[in-house]
């Protein structure tokens, strides 16, 4: 599974990355995490608000930081 975090690298982006990683670990999933900070790549992905969470090719979250439990529910 590929977890992509889109944003500038701000505190909210870091929190989203940490929460997504915690959720994937709780579900014992194999994953790789990518942090995308390039504005052009963010726009090309169709993301309008950051931070954003994309799993494989699906945008699950835009403009907020869900808890690890919320992300875990999205992944299961």
Active site residues: 10, 13
The tokens for 42 are 């963010």
Q: How far apart are CA 17 and CA 3, in angstroms?
A: 9
Strands (E) located in 22-74? 32-36, 52-55, 58-62
Rounded distance between C-alpha atoms, residue 76 and residue 26, angstroms: 11
């Amino acid at each position: 599974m590929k977890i992509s975090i889109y944003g500038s690298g701000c505190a909210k982006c870091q929190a989203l990355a940490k929460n997504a990683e915690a959720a994937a670990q709780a579900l014992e999933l194999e994953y790789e995490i990518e942090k995308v900070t390039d504005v052009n790549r963010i726009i090309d992905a169709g993301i309008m608000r950051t931070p954003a969470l994309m799993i494989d090719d699906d945008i699950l979250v835009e403009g907020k930081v869900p808890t690890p439990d919320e992300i875990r529910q999205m992944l299961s």
